[in-house]
Amino acid sequence: MKELVIRNMPKLPFDVTEALNQFRINLGFCGDEVKTIMVTSSLPNEGKSFLVMQLWRMMAEVGTPTLLIDCDYRNSEMRTKYGISSTEKIVGGAHYLAGKADMSDVIYQTNIPNGYMIPTTSAIANPTILLEGTRFSHMIESCAKTFSYVLIDTPPLGSVADALNVAPHCDGTVLVVRSGATPRKLVDNSVQLLKRTETPLLGIVLNRADMNSKSNMYYHRYYRSSYYYNSYGSRSQKQK
Ligand X SMILES: Nc1ncnc2c1ncn2[C@@H]1O[C@H](COP(=O)(O)OP(=O)(O)O)[C@@H](O)[C@H]1O
Q: Which residues bind ligand X (CB under 6 A)?
A: 16, 41, 44-50, 207-208
For the four alpha carbons of 136, 197, 189 and 213, in that order, the dihedral sign comes to negative
- Least gap, CB of 210 to ligand X (angstroms): 11
- Least gap, CB of 128 to ligand X (angstroms): 19
Piece of the chain touching Mg ion by CB under 5 A; list 20-28, 45-53, 166-174, 210-218? 45-53
Return the number of the residue (159 or 225) whose C-beta is nearest Mg ion. Answer: 159
| Of residues 154, 147, 181, the one with CA closest to residue 51 | 154
DSSP state of 114: T
Piece of the chain touching Mg ion by CB under 5 A; list 3-11, 48-56, 94-102, 219-227? 48-56
Nearest residue to ligand X, using CB? 47
CA–CA gap between residue 171 and residue 62 (Å, rounded): 22
Which of Mg ion, ligand X, none binds 238 (CB below 5-8 Å, type-dependent)? none
Q: List, in order, residues 6 or more apart from 233 with CB less than 8 Å away.
A: none
204-206-212 Cα angle (round to 5): 160
Return the number of the residue (81 or 235) whose C-beta is nearest ligand X. Answer: 81
Piece of the chain touching Mg ion by CB under 5 A; list 25-33, 43-51, 142-150, 192-200? 43-51
Question: Is the Cβ–Cβ distance between 210 and 216 less than 8 Å?
Answer: yes
List residues near Mg ion by CB under 5 A.
48-49
